[in-house]
Amino acid sequence: MDEWEKFARLKQGLILMTRSMGHHSLHPFAGQSWSVPTDIYETDQNFVVHMELAGINPDSIRVVAEESRLTVSGERSYRLPHQVRRVHQLEIERGYFEKQISLPWPIDVAAAETEHHHGFLVIILPKRRRLASLPISFG
């Protein structure tokens, strides 16, 4: 076994150790939230946000919509079986996450809707109509 292979094994062991302590990666910012894969679409009337949240209990997801910002947070966790002798690959992110999305247009928070199915969270955010002044002429 050469030095690089020893280093790779050491790194994999450290990753496993940090994950078992609740951290999701061996990274300078370890302990921070992981990034949820997200798609954002705009229609004439709405912003539509699709988030991949497989394996997360919908009751643990928090969605906060504000004037022109959306914040989604929650936690994904699962335990490895106790009888695991060796891990060969760990790619599934777990732990706390928080995603903040800035929108280019104010939204109608009261009319926002959410759906959760097949591991995807879909958030529909209606655009708020801009108020305009209309000149009134008396004649």
Q: Give me the percent of the chain exceeding a pLDDT of 90.
A: 47
3-class state of residue 7 by DSSP: helix
Residue 6 CA to its chain's centroid (Å)? 34
On whether the CB atoms of residues 53 and 120 are closer than 8 A, the answer is: yes
In this structure, of 32-36, 59-63, 125-129, the range with the lowest mean pLDDT score is 32-36
Q: Which two tokens stand for residue 97?
A: 């996450």
Q: How confident is the model at residue 25 (pLDDT cuts 50, 70, 90)?
A: very low
| Statement: residue 94 has pLDDT above 60 | yes
> Of all helices (H) and strands (E), which one includes residue 11?
helix 3-20
Q: What Å distances lie between residue 83 and 39, 69, 80, 87, 93, CA to CA? A: 38, 44, 8, 11, 21
| Statement: residue 107 has pLDDT above 90 | yes
Higher pLDDT, 7 or 100: 100
Q: Which two tokens stand for residue 79?
A: 């335990």
> According to the model, what pLDDT value does residue 116 have?
92
Classify domain 33-126 by CATH number: 2.60.40.790
